[in-house]
Amino acid sequence: MKSCGRRTDPQSKPVRRGKKKILLIPKEVVLYQLVRGNENVSSAKQRKELAERIREVIADKYDEPKRRKVRPPLDQLVQGVLWRYTVVKSGIRSFRSLKRHFVDWNELRVSTVVEIASAMSTAAWAYECAGHLKQIMQALFNLRNVVKMDFLDDFTQSEARTFLRSLQGVTRDLADEVLLFNYGTGKIPLSDHASRMCFRMGLIEKTTTILKNQRALAEVLDEDYHVGFTLFLHDHARDVCCEKKPKHANCPMQKLCPKVGVDD
């Protein structure tokens, strides 16, 4: 993205007030200068404005449906694992295939990795994902002697998070995602990929903790948009806003994103 200097901007007009000259600069340019100049958007108000514009750009595809179906927590966990290997649509298709193929998640636990993989997709990621799912089901069985998680409904948020994190194969962001989708906890799940993309978009700081970044996002993103924004990150953070050579041309944020910290 080219730099937008004050003096060269054709829409900037000097205005006299008393003895001072004030430049009227378009809103987009101000926003852009803020994020480029400070390597971060400096206040919650400015980040909120940016977040709202991001929402406008991606609303059609990722605005949360008004009557989103809340799945049982273990179903949501399975869906969350799938989304860590493939894009949202493909993950939903694979989830449905698994539900059709296995009577319940215990049957998946006792099946072979090859059988689980072939039940959900022929894509290369399926084998690794199948091993991941089997590992979680086994960890759950070892702890509770059943392969269900409905008891989470009776837990506090913090108890539920602690339990989820105690399962081998459940990362912090995966646990946060189950809590967000099922209980609306107000914390956007932040994997390394999601954090990187949010930082480049100027929504969070890179140097602070995940919890502080989650709070910063919660300040600027309306709660009814947390799920939609999470799905957007699933589709773009890992494969489009890659660590090296991000594919700006394939990104819906291309025109709006300040690309904080990106060299090319």
Beta strands in 18-151 (DSSP E): 20-24
Please state the closest distance from residue 241 (CB atom) to ligand SF4, in A: 3
Fill in the per-residue mask, 164 to 193: x = in contact with ligand SF4 (CB under 6 A), - = not in contact. ------------------------------
The window from 17-25, 73-81, 150-158, 245-253 that contacts ligand SF4 (CB under 6 A) reads: 245-253
Amino acid at 32: Y
Q: How far apart are CA 194 and CA 178, in angstroms?
A: 16
Nearer to ligand SF4, 120 or 201 (CB): 201
Q: How far apart are CA 198 and CA 146, in angstroms?
A: 38
Nearer to ligand SF4, 140 or 241 (CB): 241
Structure tokens at 115: 């059988």
**Packing angle of the helix pair 44-62, 210-220 (nearest 10 deg):** 80
Please state the closest distance from residue 185 (CB atom) to ligand SF4, in A: 25
Please state the closest distance from residue 86 (CB atom) to ligand SF4, in A: 19
Q: What is the largest CA-CA distance in the chain?
A: 80
CB 198 within 8 A of CB 204: yes
Binders of ligand SF4 among residues 189 to 228 (CB under 6 A) are: 197, 200-201
Which residues make up the interface to ligand SF4 (CB under 6 A)?
A: 197, 200-201, 240-241, 246-248, 251, 253-254, 257, 259, 262
